[in-house]
Structure 1
Amino acid sequence: MLVMLIVVPLVLGILQVALVMHVRNVTTAAAAEGARTQAALDAPPGAGEQRTRAQIDAGISDRFVREVTVSPATVAGAPGVEVRVVSEVPALGMLGPAFTVEVSGHAVSEVAP
């Protein structure tokens, strides 16, 4: 019984770290994919945000996402696109107060020859 006092909080802590890492990895990949979509030649406005939200919804629940913004940026000296995703991960698994995870993805914009 005494061992349970040590093992249970340890396992719950490992699960929390795994949840945060999973949310961060999925949102980072979705932001990069959204940036590549928006940077494509003749991409309609809002295509990057739509693609980012679709990728996040496929990987995790969209309820974690608080904000997705797409803006022009300079990537290695070239014109490009930046997609920023702000998400909130509950501190106690699925319940409790949340803390913020912010990630971004970048892509160089395509230009017509």
Structure 2
Amino acid sequence: MVDFVLVSVLVVPLFLAVLQVGLYLYIRNTITAAASEGAHYAAVLNRDPADGEEHARRLVTGVVRDELVEAVTAEPVEIEGQPGVRVVVKAHMPALGLWGPGLGFEVEGHAVKETGE
């Protein structure tokens, strides 16, 4: 019984840390994909950056808790001399599961805007 307690004191925190890293990577990758998809959506001919912002919000809603996403913004940018769209999603990831104080991060998605030429 003493061996179990001594081993579990080491194994349980290690397991929880690996679980937290996995959760962080899942949320960050999901938000990154939403930002990228939002930029591509806004880059289509006859769409503006606000459409991409709305699309990114729609992709994140229901997949990631709404409290984790702080802001979603989209703006026209120039990408290597071409008109483009950038969607930025600001979020945070709590240090303990999905609750508590967290680590803030920001991801961006870029896409070159389609032109009618």
Fold match, TM over 0.5? yes
Kindly report structure 1 stretches of 4+ aligned residues shifted beyond 4 Å: none
Counting aligned pairs with the same residue, the percent is: 44
By how many angstroms is 1:64 displaced?
1.2
Q: Gaps spanning 5+ residues in structure 1: where?
A: none
CA RMSD, Structure 1 to Structure 2 (Å): 1.3
Larger Rg: 2
CA–CA separation in structure 1 for the residues paired with 2:112 and 2:66: 27
TM-score (norm 2): 0.90
Q: Which residue, out of 47, 63, 68, partners 1:64? A: 68
Deviation at 1:45, TM superposition (A): 5.3
Please list the CA deviations of residues 9-59 of structure 1 after superposition, one character each: whole Å capped at 9, or x if unmatched.
Answer: 101101110111011100110001100111111115521111001111143
Q: Which residue of 2 aligns with 1:37?
A: 41
1:82 aligns with 2:86: yes
So what's the TM-score if we normalise by structure 1?
Answer: 0.93
Q: Is the 8 A contact 1:41 1:110 kept in 2?
A: yes
